[in-house]
Amino acid sequence: MVSQMISCLSKSSSLFCISGSRSLIPPKTYNRGGLCRFPPGFASRRLSTVYRRKWRSACISNSGKETGGEGKLQGEWRILERWEVPWEWQTVSLTSLACGLSFVLTGLTEMVALPYLGIDVQKLSLDDKAEILFLDQGLTTLAVLAVIFTVAKTFEPLPEDILRYDLKQPFNLQKGWLVWSGIGLVGAVGAIALTGVALSLFRTETPEREVDSLMKLLPLIGSSNISTLSLVGITGVLAPLLEETVFRGFFMVSLTKWVPTPIAIIISSAAFALAHLTPGEFPQLFILGSVLGLSYAQTRNLITPMVIHGFWNSGVILLLTFLQVQGYDIKELLLQGN
């Protein structure tokens, strides 16, 4: 369903319309006896001119720029439209490097600070470990976002659709964050399920499951309400806020300065999948990143991919918590599912 919708949208966005503010030559008039008369056929030509103006103002050229250059058009399907990026490649490179360094340095600082504060992680309870993980994710998110918004502030005023978090108009068909979050979530579930089936058909042997972040969190899943709330806060709020701002809000948007939006979605999705350091899960993460990129390109609102990402992550945690409470060995289930 989603693939059909995307196909239809891409077809409807491929119309080529002439843009420009060329003025029309006024028709010749005749003044006889104090009355202003127009030449024959003027009314039909004038009506045709009005229609052409309306058509021209309602279309977007193939380059992704609006006709007339008067801001973003409202009510259009904008998946293929580019952003007006104010910075150059040097800014993109240095900001990406600064984000990576902030991520690493935050972790190293916490490793040094905990023993200094007299905290032995090995002796902590599961609830304490969950709370420290929540604090760790919160500090990392703040550090990385501080880098991005500090850089963005030097380019103010920014276009209104860059680094935008907007809860207004959730049910709008063209740009409603809630509508497209639902479409994206259903599309992600279906596409990833089909990808898993396809991979299982071509897989000759069962590989060992990689030690990813989910496997590391297994001891905390279902251990207590505090652990569950901490994990939902990490995976459903903080991680989506961080990753969507970095990979979609900054990196993908920046790429559209040099490549078409679909190519930017592909590149940012590959970077998103590689950043998780789990090569065996690259196809599923790439599909998820593509859905997140498409939903963001349509709504120009970071709330949309954040909601999809948050529901995806927290949904997995809550499902595993439910199975754990019911007495299932979730580690064995994950190993069998792989």
Which of residues 78 and 229 earns the better pLDDT score?
A: 229
Q: Is 29 helix (H, G, I), strand (E, B) or coil?
A: coil
Whether residue 168 is predicted with pLDDT greater than 90 in this model: the reply is yes
Whether residue 57 is predicted with pLDDT greater than 50 in this model: the reply is no
Which pLDDT value is given to residue 332? 75
Q: What is the pLDDT of residues 256-289, one digit of tens each?
A: 999 999 999 999 999 999 999 888 899 999 999 9
Q: How far apart are CA 234 and CA 257, in angstroms?
A: 32
Whether residue 98 is predicted with pLDDT greater than 90 in this model: the reply is yes
CB 61 within 8 A of CB 81: no
CB 215 within 8 A of CB 208: no
Which pLDDT value is given to residue 17? 35
Beta bridge partners of 8: none
Name which of 105, 312, 129 is nearest 226 in CA terms.
Answer: 129
> What's the sign of the alpha-carbon dihedral 295, 300, 306, 307?
negative
> What's the sign of the alpha-carbon dihedral 209, 214, 216, 218?
negative
CB 62 within 8 A of CB 19: no
pTM for the whole structure: 0.76
Peptide bond into 157 cis (omega under 30): yes
Which of residues 159 and 330 earns the better pLDDT score?
A: 159
- Reported residue count of the chain is 338
Average pLDDT, the chain: 80
pLDDT band at 88 (very low <50, low <70, confident <90, very high): very high
Q: What is the pLDDT of residues 290-338, one digit of tens each?
A: 999 999 999 999 999 999 999 999 999 999 888 888 888 777 777 666 5
Token pair of 272, please? 């998103």
Q: What is the pLDDT of residues 103-141, one digit of tens each?
A: 999 999 999 999 988 888 888 999 999 999 999 999 999
Q: How far apart are CA 131 and CA 246, in angstroms?
A: 24
User: Residue ranges per domain, the chain?
Assistant: 82-336
Q: How far apart are CA 338 and CA 334, in angstroms?
A: 6
CB 308 within 8 A of CB 185: yes
Q: Is 32 helix (H, G, I), strand (E, B) or coil?
A: strand
Which of residues 45 and 214 earns the better pLDDT score?
A: 214
CA 151 vs CA 39, 41, 88, 154: distances in Å? 60, 58, 12, 6
Which of residues 14 and 84 earns the better pLDDT score?
A: 84
Beta bridge partners of 31: 36
Q: How far apart are CA 273 and CA 251, in angstroms?
A: 14
